[in-house]
Structure formats: structure tokens, C-alpha cells
Structure 1
Amino acid sequence: MSNSRIVGKAAPVRFENVSKRFGRDVVAVDNINLNVEAGKLVTLLGPSGCGKTTTLRMIAGLEMASDGRILIGDRDVTTLPATDRDVSMVFQSYALFPHMSVLENVSYGLTFSGFSKSETRDRALAGLDLVGLKGFDSRLPSELSGGQQQRVAVARALVLEPQVLLFDEPLSNLDAKLRRQVREDIRAIQQDLGLTVVYVTHDQEEALAVSDEIVVMRNASIAQIGSPRALYEAPVDQFVADFIGEANILPCVIQSVDGDVATISIEEYHYELPARGLGIGPAKLAVRPSRLVIGTARGFTATVAKATYVGVRMEYTLQASFGSMFAVQDDVDSPLDVGTEVTVGFHAKSPVLLPEA
């Protein structure tokens, strides 16, 4: 997918104790430190109002930091306007000019970059080729699908050869099937060209699918940073466990700790797992729905409260003495009936201990 006319010059991004306030009382970003490695795709993930879009806009220069420093490469850009930063942004709305052709839209930024008409055209055509839209140059945006419009927006950003490429909720206007396709396209282009990308989304699956690293944000600060697998397998607290994919949060008691191994109990069921620095007493257990095992020899008792067939799997709501759980099973040929009493246990390496608070 690479093209010799589009050359990456990826740079790292660093936030040093950066805060952003609006007025006296509204803290949108609160003293965050963040390192984005050159050539990596890092996703800012979190619920509405957590500060992720403000963080992205501070990289772009569309918002100015109230405190701290922002560096792109070795250059301090904290006080520089957007026009003096070597970044490109792909907006949620695509922001295409409806009266311009696809080629004119992609060429727009290049016309201010000192290139000749022929070089501008060559670069724009190379950008369209890169995103799989060769031959679409004469069409208007209204003649394209939503996914194709998004690719035009990506091409327009890429041809400027930015040090950092920014995406603000780029797939939110697409249907589910297109979202999957376009996110794969974005990831493939990023990896092929070695681009530094900072990507904002509130969609956990999207973040897991495209990212080298995920920054989970909550209440204007960073809750946890890690690879998709690290965050999914070892969330630092209940918020991250619940936000990165679905998780059952179950009450348990840590009965003993030997080195880094804790023995926990849920009712009469005892289970050993990493202690994660916790001591004896009440705690929480995060368990993914696919990692609850129904029908084990050892476990705790629950009743099937709801059974739903969704084609490729069965989804169950299980009711135990301490509350309800959500479980999934691949066996669709022998579904459990509502009202069935079952024994529930855990897959190996499945549950994760969380602090009680």
C-alpha cells in the first residue's frame, strides 16, 4: 500500500505535566504526562467529557495548554499556533468541500505548501492511490459513500506528510461494517508508512483493534496506559476493567497471600491467582464473560436467569447469591434452559483482582 511519493517523517509527542482549564472552574485536562513513540498508533479512549478530545486538540494547536509543555520531536510547540505545527487532523465530520472534486479536496492543503501545480497533482493522485481511491479524482464528495469520504479526508491529511497524524472519532458516522473496513485501512496505512498517529475514540473495540498503545482517560486524567492486551488482561481498577470490554465485577474475599499468590473465596469456591499487591480482606474480581465456565466440577452455584441465541454463540445472564453475571458460550446446539441451576468456575488465568474501592 506504500507509495514512493508519500514519505513519512514520524516524530514522537510528549506531554509534560500538561493541564487545560476553561475559565476558573472547568479543568478539562489535569496534569497529564504522556509519551507517544514515533511510528506508533496511540489511542485516547474514554467516556464523553474525560478530556481525550481536548488532549488531541492541544497536540493540533487548536487549544493551548494552561500549564506544562508539549513537544513534537525535539521542538517545544506549547505556544505555537496550529499553522506552525507539522501535524494534520482528520475530523469526525470529514470537512470536505462539497463543491470541489475529490482531487481538489486532497490537493487543497498542498496549494499552500509551495509545490508546483504538477507536483501538487502528482502528490494528490498518489494520496488517492494510497487509500484505494485511484480513479475517483473527478468525483464530488456527494457521489461517494461515507467510507470513501473518510478515505478522502485521510488522503488529504497524508499528502501533507505530517510528523503527527491526528484522528478525532473518525468512524462515528459510519455503519458497523464500514467501521471495521475503514479502521483496518487506517491501521494498514499507519503501519505501512510508519506514521505517528494519535487517535481519539470512545469505542473500546475500535481502540483494541487499531492501537499499539491505549491511554484510558477518566475525569480529565489518565487512568491507565498499556497495550490492548495488557489493559484487557490486567486492568488497574474497576473503571478500566469495565471500560475495556465487558467485565463481570464480582465480590470476593482474599483468604491468604503467599508471595504474589492470593487465595480467594467466592462462597465455598476457592481459587488462586496473582495478588497484585493486595492483602487479606474483601476485594473485587474482574472476569470476562467468555471466561466464566458453566458446568465445572468445582465452583459456585448460580441459576440461568436469561438465555439468548445470537447466532455464533449463546449469551446467558446468571443469577448468584451475590448478584448477576453475564456469560457467553460457543455451544449453540445444547443451550441451557432458563431456571437451570449450574456450577460456575473460571478459565485458567481468567480473573483479575482489583482493589475493593
Structure 2
Amino acid sequence: MMATVSSKAASVVFDHVTKVYGKDVVAVNDVSLTIAPGKLVTLLGPSGCGKTTTLRMIAGLEMATKGRILIGDKDVTTLPATDRDVSMVFQSYALFPHMTVLENVSYGLKFSGFSKAETLERANAGLSLVGLDGYGGRLPSELSGGQQQRVAVARALVLEPQVLLFDEPLSNLDAKLRRHVREEIREIQQNLGLTVVYVTHDQEEALAVSDEIVVMKNAAIAQIGRPRELYDAPADTFVADFIGEANLVECQIVAVEGDMAEIEVGGIRHRLPSRGLRPGKAMLALRPSRIRVTEDEGLAAAVEKVTYVGPRMEYTFAGDFGQLFAVSDDVDAPLKVGDAIRIGLAASGPVLVPDA
């Protein structure tokens, strides 16, 4: 079912935006980007790549050095945060400890011209949206971390912003709770048709919640695409390795015919999409979950490490090609260290990638 886009949801456009701190520290370098109304777009990348600065420029907490920023049809490049119709959910939640949950959620509404009755109604509706009916009288200290995060989301939602911003919202939660809260955020975003810009360094989190992912590297955009596109067709070795872990193996493109390439790796030949590459040295990306042990022909290898992690096995395979990290759901009949194996190159498994 397609989510309905909220009438308040707005697009976000970056038009050749650069942010420089001091004389020469470039935090964001010539970024152009369009986020469609009602979509959840994640800015993903390692520390220092520029994703949080990009988010803060949307919020008006940082000003662009060059370029333009538009929210909807409005140029907000020089507008302060108070004049932008956006709300931000911070990593630290930023709840007032001496205020009740209801008072925290109502706080922003008090400055928006609503009557006391309407403020109360909207605040209670916000708590209901995030599953916290009946929690209004509690203090933040009486809530779990996940509940506090939901209060922060409710406080942002009740303002009905054109754009809702999340800055590493789950990093203070344990793994099980992270999964639960990210599902809630995604469900609320889809149900309400909100425009959401979400910052994280967690690849799995980005893949799970996003309509589109913007992968950033060294203050610039490395690739933009839907989660499946980035996973299956990374633009280069950086994106391949950063999104969902990839084994990068050197290979030789022997021939290219149309859009298919014949490669040689570890003494065997394999055909796969050329992705615009020409004959010569290239890199092959192999996802750990798509590495298959086969009895037929394949890359000769030995099992070097075996680790049991509950729902799956983790392996390190070694051969003339180097080392490969692989995972398998078969925990009942695991391989053993020292086993001689062959690794099959499945049709949908490996992908050629340009070097970053």
C-alpha cells in the first residue's frame, strides 16, 4: 500500500551547497541533492564525512558557505532555525528532566499560538501516535531509553513540521531496542506521509528504514540510491565495503561483450554484468551472505576461522585470492577449520566495482 504524502510534507533541495569552517576546513563540498516530499532519506557515512553538518544546515543550525537550500519552494539558505518549519530529534533526546512527559511534548506548542485546550489535545494525540497513551504524567527519569526516544519523536511530530530531522536517534539504545524503535519511526513516517531526513553511521539501520540512502565520503556524495540498489550495485569499492560489508577481490576482465564481462579470478572464469568496465584489472565485490560453498568447480579455498554467533555461522576462507568473510544460516552442520572447500560464483552473487 502506498503511503499518503502529508499536505505539510515538503521537498528539500541542496543546490551546490558547501560548508567551510574557518579558512580551510571543508565539512560539506559542493553537494547537490533533492529529497522528495513524504520520503525518508538517510545520510549515511563514516565519522567526519559531512552527514551531520548537512542535517544541521537543513535545520538552520549551521549556515551554508556557498550554494542554496530550499524547503518546498522557499529559499531558506539564510534563514535562522526559528524561521524554518522543521523539527529535529537529537541523539541525546534533549528532554527537560523536571517536566512531565506531557509538558515536554507540549513545550513547542506553547510558542505556536495554540490555546491551552488545543495544546493539550495535540500533545495527547502525539503521545498516542508513538504508543505512550497514559504516560503523560511521568517524568523522563521514569521511562526506559526507548520510551524517552519516543517522547522526543512525539514532541517533534506535534509541531507538524514540513521536514522532520533525526540525528543518530538510536545510538543510545541497545541492539534489540534499536530494531524496535527504528520500525516504529518508519511506521509513523509512512502512516503520516512525512518528509524525514535521517542521519546514521549504521548501515543496517539505513537499509531498514530508508526510501533512499545518500552515502557520503570526505564531505561529498559517493552514491545515492534505494537500499537494494546500493547493496546490489555499489558505485565503487568504498560504497561496496561500507554498505553491508563486502569482500573485495582482485580479478581480471578478460573480455567484454555488450553489457556482459568475462572475468578470471583464482584460476576460474565467470560471466557477469560489466557495469561499463573495460578489459583489464578490476575489483570483484562478494557479499558475505552470498558466498556459497559448492562441490562443483569454484575458487579453491581452506576454512581458516569458524565462529558460532547463535543464528548463524561466520567463516573466514583463505585461498590464492586472499581472504573472504562469509556467513551461513546452517548452524547444525558447520564447516571445520582446515576443511578444503570450493566457493561457487553464483549468478546474483559477485558484482564488478570500480575502485574508489
SS at match of 1:198: strand
SS at match of 1:338: coil
Q: Distance in 1 between matches of 2:87 and 2:31?
A: 22
**Cross-structure match for 2:87:** 88
SS at match of 2:205: helix
**Cross-structure match for 2:263:** 264
Q: Distance in 2 between matches of 1:204 and 1:18?
A: 25
Q: Distance in 1 between matches of 2:311 and 2:150?
A: 31
Q: Distance in 1 between matches of 2:183 and 2:9?
A: 20
Q: Distance in 2 between matches of 1:231 and 1:104?
A: 42
**Cross-structure match for 2:336:** 337
Q: Distance in 1 between matches of 2:74 and 2:37?
A: 14
**Cross-structure match for 1:201:** 200
Deviations 1:314-339 (A, max 9, x none): 21100111311111222222211111
Shift of 1:266: 0.7
Q: Distance in 1 between matches of 2:107 and 2:354?
A: 52
Shift of 1:262: 0.1
In structure 1, the gaps of 5 or more residues are 1-6
**Cross-structure match for 2:54:** 55
Say if 1:8 and 1:161, in contact at 8 Å, map to a contact too.
Answer: no
Amino acid of the structure 1 residue aligned with 2:222: A
Q: Distance in 1 between matches of 2:306 and 2:64?
A: 50
**Count of paired positions:** 351
1:1-357 to 2 correspondence within 5 Å? 9-356=8-355
Deviations 1:241-265 (A, max 9, x none): 0000011101100000001100001
Shift of 1:205: 0.3
Q: Distance in 2 between matches of 1:222 and 1:136?
A: 42
Say if 1:8 and 1:193, in contact at 8 Å, map to a contact too.
Answer: no
Say if 2:302 and 2:318, in contact at 8 Å, map to a contact too.
Answer: yes
Deviations 1:98-137 (A, max 9, x none): 0000000000000000001011000000000000000000
Q: Distance in 2 between matches of 1:197 and 1:305?
A: 44
Shift of 1:8: 5.5
Say if 1:260 and 1:275, in contact at 8 Å, map to a contact too.
Answer: yes
Q: Distance in 2 between matches of 1:184 and 1:344?
A: 35
Shift of 1:355: 2.0
Name the stretch that deviates more: 332-341 or 109-118: 332-341
Amino acid of the structure 1 residue aligned with 2:251: C
Amino acid of the structure 2 residue aligned with 1:270: R
SS at match of 2:302: strand
SS at match of 1:339: coil
Say if 1:282 and 1:356, in contact at 8 Å, map to a contact too.
Answer: no
In structure 2, the gaps of 5 or more residues are 1-5
TM-score, normalised to structure 1, is: 0.97
Amino acid of the structure 1 residue aligned with 2:285: A
Shift of 1:356: 4.3
Shift of 1:340: 1.0
Shift of 1:350: 1.2
Say if 2:240 and 2:285, in contact at 8 Å, map to a contact too.
Answer: yes
CA RMSD of aligned residues (A): 0.9
Q: Distance in 2 between matches of 1:228 and 1:356?
A: 21
Q: Distance in 1 between matches of 2:279 and 2:98?
A: 67
Name the stretch that deviates more: 59-68 or 289-298: 289-298
SS at match of 2:234: coil
TM-score, normalised to structure 2, is: 0.97
Deviations 1:227-284 (A, max 9, x none): 0000000000010000000111011000000011000011221110000111111100
The percentage of counterpart residues that share the same residue type is 72
SS at match of 1:136: coil
Q: Distance in 2 between matches of 1:31 and 1:188?
A: 33
